[in-house]
Amino acid sequence: MNTLKTAPHSKNVQALILDWAGTTVDFGSRAPLAAFQALFEKEQVPISLEQARAPMGTEKREHIKQILAMNDVLERWKCVKGETPTEADINRLYHDFIPLQIETIAMHSQLIPGWLKTFKALKEKDYKIGGNTGYSRDMCTDLIEQSRQAGYKPDSIVCATDVTKGRPFPYMAWMNAIELNVSHAHACIKIDDTLPGIEEGLAAGMWTIGVAISGNEVGLSLAQWQNLSSAEQYTMREHAYGRLQSAGAHYVIDTVAELIPCVEDIEKRLAKGEKP
């Protein structure tokens, strides 16, 4: 009688899959905020930074839908429009959002400090690098090119519109793994600054590393972060680390400049037979 054999365990990290805004580019993940606020301002239903940030990491049409479902936003929409938002409204808003997002992405495409050095070090160790994002493919064209010119070129790039469902579903991470010719999900590491991004990595069966300071949980530009007092930085860091750890991240770091020690530790854990 045939028996089912267990797939062999990978004893090495094969690939790292990283988010874009707030993780490898755009310190503070500022680009989406400006676009979402401009979109709703145009509709005479202004939203706060906190409301714009809450669904961060999800595909952008879904992001708009979740903002509209917030009680405060929903009530103000009904007051201005006279009815609850429909699927047609969501489609129209998404259509109007695309050029706004493309414009703001172009203004916030700088690499996170220390990432280029880290990226080169990872490539020297022959790790495969994937990138995925809640942005649509057409939103990413300039970002990908500007990153390439700056020296960052992932081996695989997957956008939310390349799959049937974006984060927190694991499909983007899986597509990255397939394109990178990875043999085991547990040989991959997903790095992200958002809770849906961590959920994506966990659902995909991968190790996860949360990025706290450069991303959505703190949400400040590099200059704003550096201008905080040590006490203020401590408070915001503790809050961000707690949120990402509560989401299930195996590790949390300030920025991707601190990534290498985590990768080395995961290598040791894989060698001992551990899985995420």
Q: Which residues are catalytic?
A: 19, 60
Spatial contact of 182 and 188, defined as CB atoms under 8 Å apart: yes
Distance CA 9, CA 29 (A): 36
Distance CA 257, CA 276 (A): 22
Question: What values do phi and psi take at 211, rounded to 5?
Answer: -110, 115
CB count in 10 Å sphere of residue 246:
11
Distance CA 55, CA 4 (A): 41
Evaluate the CA torsion angle 161, 165, 171, 173 in order and state its sign: positive
Evaluate the CA torsion angle 262, 266, 267, 272 in order and state its sign: positive
Distance CA 214, CA 194 (A): 11
Distance CA 254, CA 53 (A): 19
- Give me the residue label for tokens 């990872």: 122
Which two tokens mark 55?
């669904």
